[in-house]
């Protein structure tokens, strides 16, 4: 067997995982679009790897935070979804759209944190007092307040 040259070894070491695009020049929007495409193709492992790469390069990017929060929701990793969504709201400040608040509240509910979800719903309603989904979430959560977390049969929403 012939020994490998230094060039051959360096070339092998620089190979990336199968199917992994070169992300060194990706913008946050590139990450969002590429991750969405991988999810569409049901390539969740690559989508997750891209999400991790995107977060390492752009930890406060709205595009990256939003898509990795959605990935966390898909895999029902509520703690991660909550973390990414709370960071996203902190980055967006008062510009966070109602949909971001909806996802954050739903993730808190699914993680059996109704009191925190109620506090988030109250903040969201101060920004969007006419949003029907936020009003419904708030009303549902008010019914839960003071009680234990009963995820089954307490809401009309899917988890």
Give the pLDDT confidence of 67-109 residue by residue, as tens digits. Answer: 999 999 999 999 999 999 999 999 999 899 999 999 999 999 9
Non-local (6+) Cβ contacts of 78 within 8 A are: 72, 107, 108, 110, 111
User: Does 12 score more than 90 pLDDT?
Assistant: no
Considering the entire predicted model, what is its pTM? 0.77
Non-local (6+) Cβ contacts of 73 within 8 A are: 81, 103, 106, 107
User: Does 6 score more than 70 pLDDT?
Assistant: no
């Amino acid at each position: 067997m012939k020994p490998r040259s230094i060039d051959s070894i360096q070339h092998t070491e620089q190979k990336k995982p199968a199917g992994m695009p070169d992300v060194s020049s990706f913008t946050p929007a590139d990450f969002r679009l590429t991750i969405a495409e991988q999810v569409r193709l049901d390539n969740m492992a690559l989508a997750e790897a891209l999400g991790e790469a995107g977060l390492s390069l752009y930890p406060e990017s709205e595009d990256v935070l939003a898509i990795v929060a959605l990935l966390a929701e898909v895999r029902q990793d509520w703690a991660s979804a909550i973390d990414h969504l709370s960071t996203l709201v902190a980055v967006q400040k008062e510009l966070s759209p109602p949909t971001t608040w909806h996802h954050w509240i739903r993730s808190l509910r699914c993680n059996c944190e109704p009191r925190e979800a109620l506090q988030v719903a109250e903040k969201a309603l101060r920004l969007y007092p006419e949003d029907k989904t936020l009003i419904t979430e708030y009303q549902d959560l008010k019914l839960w307040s003071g009680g234990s977390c009963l995820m089954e049969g307490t809401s009309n929403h899917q988890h």
